């Protein structure tokens, strides 16, 4: 089954997101746990969560993907920035257990001039504090474009983090097609080669989700600006190869293209036409 969704607003709760997803042909979705710039999360509503879980089961949803706020940076130089990352992620992990067995994606961090090694050390500190043996949530490291001082634009960096955390089985990777192409992995002309490299460095068994985006910028630009499907430097043929690739097709795909719900509905229609099953 083609597990396909898009980023939705969490403002009206889980049931609303599930209904909205169904109304546009999606069978999963991504959402922010709180304002993407940070701030306090909405209180969990038990009835809303219960209704959502019924809907998700009845319609055989794929895992839903919570996205951490962009401001979460465990490798910041400022102690307050790092504390914020610990507080937000700890709170998000508790909330996630209300919808057990789903995914939580975060941008590993930006080392802000401290160097990649220091950045990685600080990300590991965070994960070793946050991850618990009994949690059901899988935490995903997102592949990044390498904009600014981002950690995680090289597969080797993700591998180092996974290798060195105490509970690596609580971690996976989310592959963002825009970021990865921007980072200098040739998703357009050599998807097989990119996946072979991912497998060699990280292991494809750790790949749990795809952020399906086109890119406004050329290969290797380290920019991170998403484009609508088929309208960017990846193009529809490359996107088609991604959604139909035998090594990827069983994963959940999440659109994060610059769209409102109508635009997502159209992209989902197009992608399901290309891949009906
Ligand atoms: Fe992201
Ligand atoms: Fe992404
Ligand atoms: Zn991005």
Q: What is the DSSP string of 167-220?
A: -GGGEEEEEEHHHHHHHT--TTT-HHHHHHHHHHHT-GGGEEEEEE-EESS-TT
Q: Ligand 1 centroid vs 12 CA: distance in angstroms? A: 21
> Does pLDDT of 123 surpass 90?
yes
**Contact at 8 Å (CB) between 104 and 72?**
no
Enumerate the H helices of the chain as residue ranges. 13-23, 46-58, 79-96, 116-130, 155-164, 177-183, 191-201, 235-244, 261-274
Which ligand number lies closest to the CA of residue 216?
3
pLDDT digits (tens, 9 = 90+) for 209-235: 999 999 999 999 999 999 999 999 999
Looking at residue 122, its pLDDT comes to 98
Looking at residue 177, its pLDDT comes to 99
Q: Which residues pair with 166 in a beta bridge?
A: none
Q: Ligand 3 centroid vs 6 CA: distance in angstroms? A: 14
pLDDT digits (tens, 9 = 90+) for 151-186: 999 999 999 999 999 999 999 999 999 999 999 999
Helix (H, G, I), strand (E, B) or coil at 108: coil
> Does pLDDT of 192 surpass 90?
yes
**Contact at 8 Å (CB) between 172 and 209?**
yes
Sort strands 28-32 and 65-67 into parallel, antiparallel or unpaired: parallel
Which ligand number lies closest to the CA of residue 176?
2
Looking at residue 40, its pLDDT comes to 86
Which ligand number lies closest to the CA of residue 179?
3
The position carrying tokens 């889980």 is 14
Q: Ligand 3 centroid vs 49 CA: distance in angstroms? A: 28
Q: Ligand 3 centroid vs 226 CA: distance in angstroms? A: 6
Rounded Cα distance, 214 and 147, in Å = 17
Q: Which residues surround ligand 2, an ion (CB under 5 A)?
A: 176, 211
Looking at residue 117, its pLDDT comes to 98
Nearest to 32, CA basis, from 55, 8, 5: 8
What φ, ψ does residue 52 adopt, rounded to 5°?
-60, -45
Q: Ligand 2 centroid vs 257 CA: distance in angstroms? A: 9
Domain ranges of the chain: 4-274
Rounded Cα distance, 263 and 265, in Å = 5
Which ligand number lies closest to the CA of residue 145?
3
pLDDT digits (tens, 9 = 90+) for 137-153: 999 999 999 999 999 99
Rounded Cα distance, 174 and 145, in Å = 13
Which ligand number lies closest to the CA of residue 174?
2
Q: Ligand 2 centroid vs 176 CA: distance in angstroms? A: 5
Dihedral (C-alpha) 73, 76, 79, 82: value to the nearest 10 degrees?
A: 20
Q: Ligand 3 centroid vs 134 CA: distance in angstroms? A: 30
Q: Ligand 1 centroid vs 88 CA: distance in angstroms? A: 16
Q: Which residues surround ligand 3, an ion (CB under 5 A)?
A: 224
Q: What CATH architecture does domain 4-274 belong to?
A: Alpha-Beta Barrel (3.20)
Q: Ligand 3 centroid vs 217 CA: distance in angstroms? A: 12
**Contact at 8 Å (CB) between 99 and 49?**
yes
The position carrying tokens 């949690």 is 135
Sort strands 171-176 and 138-142 into parallel, antiparallel or unpaired: parallel
């Amino acid at each position: 089954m083609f597990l396909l969704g898009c980023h939705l607003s969490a403002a009206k709760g889980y049931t609303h997101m599930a209904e909205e997803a169904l109304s546009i042909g999606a069978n999963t979705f991504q959402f922010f746990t709180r304002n993407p710039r940070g701030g306090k999360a909405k209180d969990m509503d038990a009835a809303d969560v219960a209704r959502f879980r019924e809907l998700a089961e009845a319609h055989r949803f794929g895992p839903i993907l919570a996205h951490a706020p962009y401001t979460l940076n465990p490798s910041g130089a400022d102690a307050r920035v790092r504390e914020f990352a610990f507080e937000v992620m700890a709170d998000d992990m508790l909330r996630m257990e209300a919808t057990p067995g789903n995914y939580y994606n975060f941008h590993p961090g930006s080392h802000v001039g401290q160097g990649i090694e220091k950045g990685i050390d600080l990300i590991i500190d965070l994960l070793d504090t946050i991850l618990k043996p009994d949690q059901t949530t899988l935490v995903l490291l997102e592949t990044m474009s390498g904009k600014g001082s981002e950690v995680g634009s090289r597969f080797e960096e993700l591998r180092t983090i996974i290798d060195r955390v105490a509970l690596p089985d609580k971690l996976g990777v989310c592959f963002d097609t825009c970021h990865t192409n921007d980072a200098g992995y040739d998703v357009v002309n050599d998807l097989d080669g990119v996946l072979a490299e991912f497998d060699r460095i990280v292991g494809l068994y750790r790949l749990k989700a795809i952020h399906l985006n086109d890119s406004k910028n050329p290969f290797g630009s380290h920019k991170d600006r998403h484009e609508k499907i088929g309208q960017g430097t990846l193009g529809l043929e490359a996107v088609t190869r991604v959604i139909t690739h035998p090594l990827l097709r069983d994963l959940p795909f999440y659109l994060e293209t610059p769209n409102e719900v109508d635009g997502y509905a159209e992209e989902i229609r197009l992608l399901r036409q290309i891949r009906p099953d």
